[in-house]
Structure 1
Amino acid sequence: MKSVHALHRGALAGMLAALALFAGTPQAHAEEGVKIGLILDMTGVYSDISGKGSVTAAQLAIDDFGGKALGHNVELVVGNSQGHADTAATTAREWFDVKHVDAIMDVTGSSAALAVLNIARAKGKILFLSGPASDRLTGDLCTPTSVHYAYDSYALANSVARTVANQGGKRWYFITADYAGGHDIVGAARTALGQSGASVLGEVPVPLGAADFSSAVVQAQNSGAGVIGLASFGGDLVNVVKAAREFGVRPGGPQRMASLLMYINDVHAIGLQTAQGMVLSEAFYWDMNPQTRAFSRRYYEKVKAMPNMSQAAVYSSVLHYLKAVQAANSTDATVVMRKMREMPVSDFFATNGRIREDGLMVHDMYLFQVKSPAESKYPWDYYKLLATIPADKAFRSLAQSGCPLVKP
């Protein structure tokens, strides 16, 4: 007969085994509910392209899902990094360690995103990114639980650079934001231009939030390039385009401007008279079809502006995440990521989207040209579609990703 101590030990072992089994099952989740975070630029040069608009998009997705997941309320928390990497990293660490945030669904700016990526990797947490451009997010720095959702440097630069080069724009000069996102997107453009038989005559870096772009514009004008490639973003892009027009870079002139990342908010801020004729690539346009218009009108009622591709992608990614949490019956990052890869992304943002093993969500991209004032028929009627680029052509192949998680 077993001793009482042996029986107690056996019972205790059984209880511990049962608890361990329960903790490892998909049913286990935080009792305080599902927490989603956004680390955005709420007040700086990127506030128009992320900021209040991204918060609104995320909340619309939560509301459309019913406000609950796994029987608990879904809570949205927002941090203002102003694009600073150290602030974003500090916020992410506190959220994961203290506030028990389950997933961060966007970070504004590539440098800030790369800083948060390292923390999400260490903590084993889910990170979605729809604002930053850097290819490294799904390249050498990819993680098992991060997703690059809206676009990347390759998709934007490849489509714009190739199209303009094929239209005769063979000599380029770049005005480049002097940080990770700017350099990555110009690097991708250089590769595409080289493959298209075009050349790059030079490049001038400009710091984030530069007060004066006149020197950079003059250098680009004096380069002899036929195309001034713009790799500045947000408020900086608005200011450099206005400066270029003031210095005589006009539609139909000897030099044209091509933006490697331009949002509809930027066009609105610049105005059609100044922005007309510019070529750009986007993952979303509010006036594409009945589905995009239906969402955008709801969004407009709250923000008084049409959504850009990053803001639309925030809605889509939050909804995709919540669907996966509910389907997996778990907030465990590994379990939810597996479910998100299994589920296609099919909504107004992407009709044929899928999350690859390197974390890149691949979908169709679109090439647009900014309309002239005479071509625009109603408010926010800014783009005419030049081409639809299928997902397998828009993004680099899985073999090209450089992600160590990809099986050879």
Structure 2
Amino acid sequence: MKTLTRIAAVTASVATFASAAWAEDPIKIALVHGLSGSSFEAFSKQAQTGFELGIEYATDGTNTVKGHKIELIIKDTQFKPDVARAVLAEAYGDDEVLMAIGSTSSGVAKGMLPIAEEYEKILIVEPAVADSLTGPDSNRYVFKTSRNSSMDMQAQALALQPDENLFVATIAEDYAFGHDGISAFKAALEGTGATVVAEEYVPQGTADFTAPAERLFNALKDKEGRKVILAYIAGGGDGPGKIKAMNPERYGIEISMGGHILPVLPTYKRFPGMEGAVYYYYEAYDNPVNDWLVKTHQERFDGPPDFFTAGGMAAALAAVKAIETADSLETEDLIAAMEGMSWETPKGTMTFRPEDHQALQSMVHFKIRVDENVDWAIPDLVRIIEADEMDIPIGRTND
């Protein structure tokens, strides 16, 4: 009897020790994004800063969830889909991460989707934008905290206040981001009476916009009504500025575009009074999460947070809430916790739509103001466009 008691005591002791050891195992999360090889590196660095700040905020500075320390593992995709697939597989397999976050480019992120399905592990897409990332080629392991092209363009359409007197010609980059964006913009204009008269797609990195701009001018110049060139260009090359330098005003043509990161906003000083839509501007949102982000970022980095910083923080806050609320760290329990999950971010409340795992969220309608005492053009808040004002298409049906 004493022997059995001792065995039971030892077994209980071993179980307690094993449980304690398990509780101390770190939760590994991979940030899989481009840190070399593209001008988009700045986006990745902002997203990483935001993610690290988000983990800090969500855990009250302890970096611990349910007794587990969070360990970040950084992987560089080099902005190449084949490299992204390889390093994501390495993160899921060799590094045994619980989940991954990435990537910066929509084209690269699209190549990562099947890897999440192969390893049956969560991939949170941030900050890539294309609608197709939650479309038919996506899968149940993919969640997306970044906005999508439909949000960009429905908000942009609302900012233009379209009617039958509006004629638009578009210019975008010739890859998933650009094509998805313009498709979403045209869908957003349906039923408003506005007309898209021409579309131009240019290679990423284009420096000379003369020929496509002339074609847009010719498509618009004889229209009777409001004439707008919509630029949807994420990379460098200063397309809108070069089109502006060609004097579209001589045909009564104006330029509209979405907002951008702070380093690009000085170029917007050439467009005073322009209205558009943007994912985030640090002065537009008034809530506790954004207040903390702005204050902390200003103190540590001597400047305000940018919009990819806010996106990275939103992804971190989603990851922590999922871990906190899931019944276990098994993938199926995480999926169950995340489908329909709402959480607070610098942009206010976001919600993962159960059908396709896109995070529904607000956007900012802005009007450009120029202040010579501020280095960049200021996208003054006109109003917050709430998530329920936008009819975002469902990308896929969950299985």
TM-score bucket (shorter structure): 0.7 to 0.9
Q: In 1, distance between residues paired with 2:241 and 2:123?
A: 35
Q: What per-residue deviation string (whole Å, max 9, x for no partner) do you get for residues 75-115 of structure 1?
A: 22223334332222222112112111221222111111111
Q: In 1, distance between residues paired with 2:207 and 2:296?
A: 35
Matching residue's letter, 1:346: E
Structure 1 residues 298, 200: closer, same or farther in 2, change over 3 A?
A: same
Q: In 2, distance between residues paired with 1:299 and 1:245?
A: 34
1:38–1:55 Cα contact (<8 Å) kept: yes
The aligned counterpart of 1:227 is: 228
Matching residue's letter, 2:297: Y
Percent of pairs identical after alignment? 23
Matching residue's letter, 1:230: A
Shift of 1:266: 5.5
The TM-score with structure 2 as length reference comes to: 0.83
Shift of 1:258: 1.8
Corresponding residue to 1:264 among 261, 264, 280: 261
Q: In 1, distance between residues paired with 2:34 and 2:207?
A: 18
* Residue 394 (structure 2) pairs with residue 401 (structure 1): yes
The aligned counterpart of 1:149 is: 145
1:56–1:303 Cα contact (<8 Å) kept: no
1:33–1:69 Cα contact (<8 Å) kept: no
Corresponding residue to 2:39 among 25, 37, 45: 45
Shift of 1:395: 4.2
The aligned counterpart of 1:314 is: 312
Counterparts of residues 116-195 of structure 1 (less than 5 Å): 116-166=112-162, 170-195=166-191
Structure 1 residues 395, 38: closer, same or farther in 2, change over 3 A?
A: farther
- SS state at 1:265 partner: coil
The aligned counterpart of 1:358 is: 356
- SS state at 1:75 partner: strand
Q: In 1, distance between residues paired with 2:353 and 2:154?
A: 20
Q: In 2, distance between residues paired with 1:195 and 1:163?
A: 16
Q: In 2, distance between residues paired with 1:320 and 1:27?
A: 26
Matching residue's letter, 1:40: H
1:267–1:275 Cα contact (<8 Å) kept: no
The TM-score with structure 1 as length reference comes to: 0.81
2:341–2:351 Cα contact (<8 Å) kept: no
Structure 1 residues 263, 273: closer, same or farther in 2, change over 3 A?
A: closer
Structure 2 unaligned segments of length 5 or more: list them. Answer: 1-14, 222-226
Q: In 1, distance between residues paired with 2:274 and 2:265?
A: 13
Q: In 1, distance between residues paired with 2:180 and 2:255?
A: 19
The aligned counterpart of 2:322 is: 324
* Residue 210 (structure 2) pairs with residue 214 (structure 1): yes
* Residue 32 (structure 2) pairs with residue 58 (structure 1): no
Q: What per-residue deviation string (whole Å, max 9, x for no partner) do you get for residues 356-394 of structure 1?
A: 3320111222211222336xx756671222232221222
Matching residue's letter, 1:370: I
Shift of 1:136: 2.0
Matching residue's letter, 2:259: M
- SS state at 2:94 partner: helix
Count of paired positions: 373
Matching residue's letter, 1:59: E
Matching residue's letter, 1:265: L
Structure 1 residues 381, 29: closer, same or farther in 2, change over 3 A?
A: farther
Q: In 1, distance between residues paired with 2:102 and 2:366?
A: 25
Q: In 1, distance between residues paired with 2:219 and 2:91?
A: 48
- SS state at 2:324 partner: helix
Structure 1 residues 96, 243: closer, same or farther in 2, change over 3 A?
A: same
Structure 1 unaligned segments of length 5 or more: list them. Answer: 1-18, 20-25
The aligned counterpart of 1:9 is: none
Q: In 2, distance between residues paired with 1:249 and 1:80?
A: 41
Structure 1 residues 33, 281: closer, same or farther in 2, change over 3 A?
A: same
Shift of 1:31: 7.0
The aligned counterpart of 1:8 is: none
2:46–2:308 Cα contact (<8 Å) kept: no
1:56–1:302 Cα contact (<8 Å) kept: no
The aligned counterpart of 1:295 is: 293
Corresponding residue to 2:342 among 310, 325, 344: 344
Structure 1 residues 82, 101: closer, same or farther in 2, change over 3 A?
A: same
Q: In 1, distance between residues paired with 2:34 and 2:173?
A: 17
Q: In 1, distance between residues paired with 2:22 and 2:115?
A: 21
Counterparts of residues 270-285 of structure 1 (less than 5 Å): 270=267, 272-285=268-281
Mean Cα deviation higher: 313-322 or 156-165 = 156-165
CA RMSD, Structure 1 to Structure 2 (Å): 3.1
Matching residue's letter, 1:232: I
